[in-house]
Amino acid sequence: MNYYGHDSDGNIEILLSKSTPINVDDFLPLIIREGSADPTTQYFDVGLEVLASKSVMSLVVSKYSVDSDGLDTVLITNIPNPSKCFIQGDSDGIGQEIEITDGSLEFTTETSGLFTIVIGSVMYIAEQIEVTAL
């Protein structure tokens, strides 16, 4: 038997394969359901109580390189609300998850290097953007 677990927002958090039924209380606060799911392309629609396909984001990126002067800015817009953003690279914000609630993100840095910005939302396939800081 296959199972998947999702949170109250519909994010699929865990995939299980067991030969016997599981104790759903062992996985609280996740909601465990019988069946298969792909967390990269599916989410659980909590309103309709069905698995649904994630959509592709239509992000708008102003540019893919930025001067590392702390002033030059990359603007990313058309971000679904709410979304989460994770920035990987040589900056003080590494490892911090940023909640996006206004549909946009401004990125600036004083450090040269390659930065990867990952934006994810429950109903959308996560997008990865690479920005070079010169």
Distance CA 130, CA 23 (A): 42
Grouping H, G, I as helix, E, B as strand and the rest as coil, residue 24 is: helix
| Upstream peptide bond of 29 is cis (omega within 30 degrees of 0) | yes
Q: What pLDDT is recorded for position 122?
A: 95
Q: What pLDDT is recorded for position 124?
A: 97
Domains assigned to the chain: 2-53 (no CATH), 60-133 (2.60.40.10)
Side-chain-facing half-sphere of 124: CA atoms under 13 Å: 19
16-51 per-position pLDDT tens digit? 887 767 787 888 889 999 899 999 999 999 999 999
Residue ranges of the chain with pLDDT lower than 70?
20, 90-95
Distance CA 117, CA 45 (A): 26
- pTM here is 0.83
